[in-house]
Amino acid sequence: MANETVITVVGNLVDDPELRFTPAGVAVAKFRIASTPRVYDKQTSEWKDGDSLFLTCSVWRQAAENVAESLARGTRVIVQGRLKQRSYEDREGVKRTVYELDVDEVGPSLARATAKVERQNKQGNPQNVQAAPRGDDPWAGAKPANGQQQGGSQQPAAQGAGYSDEPPF
């Protein structure tokens, strides 16, 4: 929709996702993430944590079931969704405002972890994503253009030609 605030947040799950179902049988998972900025203090030569942002997230339908099955407390995740603001009165009559995220996409961060991805068909059943070689595969017998075999122990072509381990930025 137009004029919605779409944000991406990287953080850690504070609790295990909680999976529930609406009376109509639609799955919804709620979870909270904590995103804590880190800054380097040059005076002390140490990293320091900033103030944590705690954000309640909800994800719907098949994605909700996938989140509940795949993610757990402490998992570092990348979440993208629409930021929503909601106001209410607490038990003491004080007006409160909360910010929540209606999640469109969520997944584990692979910066310091690995994950095995298992695709699902439209009914939510797992599919085998590793296809066996097929006889009609036109790339099955293809060789690299430089004439070298794949997976060999030869040096990369870029070595000696300005190659660097440093990122380009």
CA distance 36 to 52: 4
Q: Which residue has the tokens 């009609």?
A: 136
Return the DSSP state at 150: T
80 touches 104 (CB < 8 A): yes
Q: CA distances (Å), 18 to each of 13, 30, 78, in order?
A: 12, 5, 18
Contact 26, 61 (CB under 8 A): yes
pLDDT, one tens digit for every residue, the chain (169 residues): 577 889 999 999 999 999 999 999 999 999 999 998 888 888 888 998 888 899 999 999 999 999 999 999 999 999 999 999 999 999 999 999 999 999 999 999 888 888 888 887 766 566 554 544 545 555 555 555 555 554 444 444 444 445 555 655 5
DSSP readout, 47-107? EEE-PPEEEEEEEEHHHHHHHHHH--TT-EEEEEEEEEEEEEE-TTS-EEEEEEEEEEEEE
Closest listed residue to residue 26, CA positions, set 58, 57, 64, 56: 64
